[in-house]
A and B are shown apart, each in its own frame.
Chain A
Amino acid sequence: MLWLLFFLVTAIHAELCQPGAANAFKVRLSIRTALGDKAYAWDTSEEYLFKAMVAFSMRKVPNREATEISHVLLCNVTQRVSFWFVVTDPSKNHTLPAVEVQTAIRMNKNRINGAFFLNDQTLEFLKIPSTLAPPMDPSVPIWIIIFGVIFCIVIVAITLLILSGIRQRRRKNKEPSEVDDAEDKCENMNTIENGIPCDPLDMKGGHINDAFMTEDERLTPL
């Protein structure tokens, strides 16, 4: 009698969890890709943990707080590691609708990933697309800040250069008039003495004979 019941239960289970069955999902794990040397072996204890995580996710759904680990059925475990799973209702006769399982898994994907040290690429639930994390969008794009800084520096530098250029030109414009004043003074002094202006001779294109220049040095300084 007991044997008959046992066969009945496994038969029903076998029917409920089958590859491609209604409300069944295929799961694929790539443990070695994710962890390399620290990869753990997939055994029945890991399967138990998986069932626990799925049951935990279902418990978060309203009206499904009574989901137990035994309600989650796994089948067709391959070397890959991949397998199919279904979640049954408390009577163990029907499987829960796929939409409910989908929402439950999506909401808790991060927790499930964390439990197995995997991520969205290495723990895949086929037919349950994961929500991709949106990229960080700061309120002011970073590039505008850097642009603004460099722009201000360049503008300040240009203004400084232009202003110093204007100042230099004003100084140059003043100098020739100062030189002219000095010439006038010299002329006035010399005309007082002799009538022959001496200094202007030097400035107005005369050639200085270098031979006579060194004579100044022969005079012993006092």
Chain B
Amino acid sequence: MEKARPLWANPLQFVFACISYAVGLGNVWRFPYLCQMYGGGSFLVPYIIMLIVEGMPLLYLELAVGQRMRQGSIGAWRTISPYLSGVGVASVVVSFFLSMYYNVINAWAFWYLFHSFQDPLPWSVCPLNGNHTGYDEECEKASSTQYFWYRKTLNISPSLQENGGVQWEPALCLLLAWLVVYLCILRGTESTGKVVYFTASLPYCVLIIYLIRGLTLHGATNGLMYMFTPKMEQLANPKAWINAATQIFFSLGLGFGSLIAFASYNEPSSNCQKHAIIVSLINSFTSIFASIVTFSIYGFKATFNYENCLKKVSLLLTNTFDLEDGFLTASNLEQVKGYLASAYPSKYSEVFPHIKNCSLESELDTAVQGTGLAFIVYTEAIKNMEVSQLWSVLYFFMLLMLGIGSMLGNTAAILTPLTDSKIISSHLPKEAISGLVCLVNCAIGMVFTMEAGNYWFDIFNDYAATLSLLLIVLVETIAVCYVYGLRRFESDLKAMTGRAVSWYWKVMWAGVSPLLIVSLFVFYLSDYILTGTLKYQAWDASQGQLVTKDYPGYALAVIGLLVASSTMCIPLVALGTFVLHHLKRGDAASVA
């Protein structure tokens, strides 16, 4: 008797698992940046259009494939066509790369979380220098939050070539992160199904708390108004549309095989169309919600810095001209400056170079994304709030939930094909396979805890998944529509769920979405080719800021390997299956 495939205990677990996987760090640190760069409120127009045209159809397709084939990505694509099991292999490879570097973010979140239980927060004050007469030089040039990130957390080296050794503190945190992930995936859907209740819902609790706190902060409205004011001319910028499409694509986590894996544990009769629409809507709603929180935090931080700047200028003028303490305020500053310039021209011209031009717009204009936003900008805002320890703990706890939720999906994408394969699952129990995968990932992940680790992290983050995923999803769509046959797939779905597939989905699957993906692919390829040598941002400790450097040769080779190892799977496996078939046919012919 065949062992029954484990199922989700109820459909809610499946929906929560998908939400937990799709709603990740990208919603918090990439979407607000895009919104700010490409026209504020008007970015929502291309975003929602791409959601309807690209996000929902592709998500529905992946969930339907997983639910119909009831196997992980490799098995599912092999069922569709034996020549296309390379697509599944490519998905597993990309998921493997992703899980390698993604868990390092969880390690950093743990590090900051553990350090939030101190008073004062360690990133709010600069450490003293050797003889206690002033602050550490690097910390003075940069800011205390940047210093804590680059020096205390990463201990970053000046360039990629200088490797340094493995730092034991981030290594310990990475080990803990992998242990937590192992704990969650240990029992398969049984344990994952329970964990996703928390990883899906807790971030929303924290976001709501932060929304209330953020909106009541002084200066929050400045940020909100500035960011959300629509700049309609950006709608004509093709980059806005391309970035909207890319964001929808990567935010939903298509092509990794996680969605196929999750859907394969579904009852065959579940309504995957409804689930697809719900998950994609919730994902986009979360992005917009998170950007409201982020912009109010930005506004608070910018206003705080602007007022600090004004205070510094007032203090400088008060000290130079021995004016009465408290005489200069923000409102009369310009007036008094004018008066002083005319009354004491020589003294004023001496002091003039030191007077900074304080501008709220320039503070708001600093657009940051990625780890910089999460670990530098947010911590800077948090350290200025009251009861900053509480806000810090809440924030990093939320980052952890988001990160672990996505990790569950990534590891499911790797484990489901492995546990489906008869060869492996007959020799090793489920727990051992999960343990091995976590161990291998943790060991390789130690590379990212070295001094140059953050540079390797950026390489993986930028190149491991982008091109490969576009190709994978393109081949997926073409495979389902033209190799398997759209009509056959449609009748399968109807038999499985009892509902007909509307014409809208068929048009999107067969025509619009593949065209979109091809155009995205062409755009990215041409972008890479046109930029020539790839560059990266390195931290210069002597200047206290980032500088641009070229990648050395071996780093470029690694980038090439990353992209090639996943994309080449598709043609190589197809070729291999073709050769095997020919050999078998040759044998059969010779036997006959």
- Is B truly associated with A? yes
Assess whether A154 is in contact with B179, with CB atoms less than 8 Å apart.
yes
B515 within 8 A of A: no
Assess whether A147 is in contact with B176, with CB atoms less than 8 Å apart.
yes
The chain A residue sitting closest to B129, CB to CB, is: A132
Most chain B CB inside 10 Å of its own CB: which residue of A39, A82, A134, A135: A135
Q: How far is the CA of A82 from the CA of B323 in the complex (A)?
A: 10
Assess whether A142 is in contact with B117, with CB atoms less than 8 Å apart.
yes
Nearest Cβ on chain A to B336's Cβ, whole angstroms: 14
A140 within 8 A of B: no
Contacts of B110 in A (CB 8 A): 147
Do A165 and B183 form a contact, CB below 8 Å, given A30-B325, A32-B325, A147-B173?
Answer: no
Assess whether A132 is in contact with B325, with CB atoms less than 8 Å apart.
no
Q: Which of B178-202 contact A (CB under 8 A)?
A: 179-180, 182-183, 186-187, 191
Assess whether B183 is in contact with A161, with CB atoms less than 8 Å apart.
yes
Contacts of A146 in B (CB 8 A): 114, 117
Q: How far is the CA of A89 from the CA of B538 in the complex (A)?
A: 58
Q: Which of B118-136 contact A (CB under 8 A)?
A: 118, 125, 127-128, 132-135
A150 within 8 A of B: yes
Assess whether A33 is in contact with B118, with CB atoms less than 8 Å apart.
no
Assess whether A132 is in contact with B179, with CB atoms less than 8 Å apart.
no
Contacts of A28 in B (CB 8 A): 319
* Complex partner residue of B429 from A30, A158, A169, CB under 8 angstroms: A169
Assess whether A158 is in contact with B325, with CB atoms less than 8 Å apart.
no
Assess whether A158 is in contact with B191, with CB atoms less than 8 Å apart.
no
Assess whether B179 is in contact with A162, with CB atoms less than 8 Å apart.
no
Contacts of A143 in B (CB 8 A): 111, 114-115, 117-118
Nearest Cβ on chain A to B580's Cβ, whole angstroms: 35
Contacts of A33 in B (CB 8 A): 325-326
A79 within 8 A of B: yes
* Complex partner residue of A161 from B187, B325, B326, CB under 8 angstroms: B187
The chain A residue sitting closest to B114, CB to CB, is: A143
Nearest Cβ on chain A to B317's Cβ, whole angstroms: 11
Interface size class of A (residues with CB under 8 A): 20 to 34
Assess whether B323 is in contact with A132, with CB atoms less than 8 Å apart.
no
Contacts of B319 in A (CB 8 A): 28, 80, 82
Assess whether A162 is in contact with B186, with CB atoms less than 8 Å apart.
yes
The chain B residue sitting closest to A164, CB to CB, is: B187
A29 within 8 A of B: yes
Q: How far is the CA of A137 from the CA of B187 in the complex (A)?
A: 42
A96 within 8 A of B: no
A206 within 8 A of B: no
Assess whether A31 is in contact with B325, with CB atoms less than 8 Å apart.
yes
Q: How far is the CA of A146 from the CA of B117 in the complex (A)?
A: 9
Q: How far is the CA of A165 from the CA of B6 in the complex (A)?
A: 15
Nearest Cβ on chain A to B478's Cβ, whole angstroms: 41
Q: Which of A125-150 contact B (CB under 8 A)?
A: 129, 131-132, 134-135, 142-144, 146-147, 150
Assess whether B179 is in contact with A151, with CB atoms less than 8 Å apart.
yes
B334 within 8 A of A: no
Q: How far is the CA of A56 from the CA of B170 in the complex (A)?
A: 52
Q: How far is the CA of A128 from the CA of B429 in the complex (A)?
A: 71
Contacts of A81 in B (CB 8 A): 325
Contacts of A32 in B (CB 8 A): 325-326
Q: How far is the CA of A29 from the CA of B319 in the complex (A)?
A: 10
A177 within 8 A of B: no
Q: How far is the CA of A135 from the CA of B132 in the complex (A)?
A: 10
A interface residue numbers (CB < 8 A to B): 28-33, 39, 78-82, 129, 131-132, 134-135, 142-144, 146-147, 150-151, 154-155, 157-158, 161-162, 165, 169
6 closest residue pairs by CB, A with B:
A32-B326, A143-B114, A78-B322, A80-B322, A79-B324, A146-B114
Given contacts A79-B324, A165-B187, 14 further A-B contacts (CB under 8 A): A31-B325, A129-B134, A132-B135, A142-B114, A143-B117, A146-B114, A147-B110, A154-B179, A158-B179, A158-B183, A161-B187, A162-B186, A162-B431, A165-B429
B interface residue numbers (CB < 8 A to A): 110-111, 114-115, 117-118, 125, 127-128, 132-135, 172-173, 176, 179-180, 182-183, 186-187, 191, 318-319, 322-326, 429, 431
